Amino acid sequence: MFGHSFAKAPRTAIDIVRDRLEQGPPTGLRLGSPQTAGRLTLVPVFHDGPALEYMTFANAQKDGTAEITEVGWLGAVSTLAVKTSSKVPVLMIDGEILVGLKQNRVLNTTILVPAKTTLKVPVACVEAGRWRHATSQASRADYALSPKIRAMKRHSVTLSARAFGTFAADQRVVWDEVAGSLGDLGVDSETLAYSDIEKQRRPEIEDRLSQLQPEPGQSGVLALVGGEPVAFDLFDQPSTLARLWQALIGSFVAESLVPKASNEPVHMEAVTEWIRGAAVGQATSHRAIGLGESVSITGAKHDTSALVVDGVAVHIATGPAHLRMRI
């Protein structure tokens, strides 16, 4: 009209995340039939979006193409170094626990490490009572950090990203919540190590894990404990979820072992609305550690973080916003 042409504005990383969360069938997210083990319910999530080529840190460490060490001999509580020799990028997930070194740590944000790169990565300590060398390299724990602590950590990391462009966690909150989780689960730990939950409650966790399997084509999962949503994780492809299944679902199972009386039924209409609500709120985009952009969305009921690389939402993670303080 009138000799003018209007180019469509390019989609931002925030747009990509919101589109993925808001769109329903047939072209967007689709939900499968819930699976239940004890107080834990998993709702499978499917989508047909684009995917990237990479390998998970779990696989890279297994084949010797990725290693994590302290930053120098002295080390730093909030930073570790990852070195990769793989021909493709390596995906490290927010909440993955790294054991050994001078103390156990947890990743603060999802990172896609470029191929053949050495990179400093932001972490938080999940073992308050140790600062001495146990190993020269970190190994990956079998289970990730609990969704409750991940949600609280995510909130402080978002504040850090918005204020300073860094991905620092509130270390005091993390330590307090780790101690609380150990107490809730009746786990004794001389060094207040979250991974001692893995050691002492493994038989129960593995028993319930054996009852839960990813469905063919499943790329994401919503976890509910006692009928209440505690975590939503969505990946760009089913193979990523499959490789991370034990770590991620094991963390959900551990949280579901905390004894509580409530166990409400799961309503799929409410589940759909809860996922869509993760796209609502203040949204900001920040340069990610490694490749891509990190997106944060904070609303009245949700805290969401995501990694977007080359127009692909590689990982979207959401937790309830009310999990910001231990009551």
- pLDDT tens string 267-279: 888 899 999 999 9
Decide if pLDDT at 24 tops 80: no
Predicted confidence band at 38 (pLDDT cuts at 50, 70, 90)? very high
Q: What is the pLDDT of residue 324?
A: 46
Entry pTM: 0.94
Q: What is the distance between the alpha carbons of residues 127 and 88, in angstroms, rounded to a whole number?
A: 32
Predicted confidence band at 26 (pLDDT cuts at 50, 70, 90)? low
For tokens 């909440």, the residue is 95
Q: What is the pLDDT of residue 267?
A: 86
Phi-psi region of 211 (alpha: psi -120 to 50; beta: other; left: phi over 0): alpha
Average pLDDT over residues 300-309: 96
Decide if pLDDT at 8 tops 70: no
Decide if pLDDT at 73 tops 90: no
Q: What is the distance between the alpha carbons of residues 57 and 90, in angstroms, rounded to a whole number?
A: 6
Decide if pLDDT at 25 tops 70: no
Number of C-beta neighbours around residue 310 at 10 A:
10
The amino acid occupying position 130 is: R
Pairing of strands 312-320, 302-309: antiparallel
Cα dist from 128 to 165, 245, 294, whole Å? 26, 27, 28
Decide if pLDDT at 3 tops 70: no
Q: What is the pLDDT of residue 1?
A: 41
Reduced 3-state DSSP string for the chain: CCCCCCCCCCCCHHHHHHHHHHCCCCCCCEECCCEEECCEEEEEEECCCCCCCCEEHHHHHHCCCEEEEECCCCCECCEEEEEECCCCCEEECCCCEEECCCCCEEECCCEEECCCCEEEEEEEECECCCCCCCCCCCEECCCCCCHHHHHHHHHHHHHHHHHHCCCCCCHHHHHHHHHHHHHHCCCCCCCCECCHHHHHCHHHHHHHHCCCCCCCCCCEEEEEECCEEEEEEEECCHHHHHHHHHHHHHHHHHHHCCCCCCCCCCCHHHHHHHHHHCCCCEEEEEECCECCEEEEEECCCEEEEEEEECCEEEEEEEEECCCCCCC
Q: What is the distance between the alpha carbons of residues 133 and 64, in angstroms, rounded to a whole number?
A: 21
pLDDT single digits (tens) 122-174: 999 999 999 999 999 999 999 999 999 999 999 999 999 999 999 999 999 99
Predicted confidence band at 23 (pLDDT cuts at 50, 70, 90)? confident
Q: What is the distance between the alpha carbons of residues 138 and 200, in angstroms, rounded to a whole number?
A: 21
Cα dist from 225 to 89, 149, 271, 283, 322, whole Å? 34, 14, 13, 27, 15
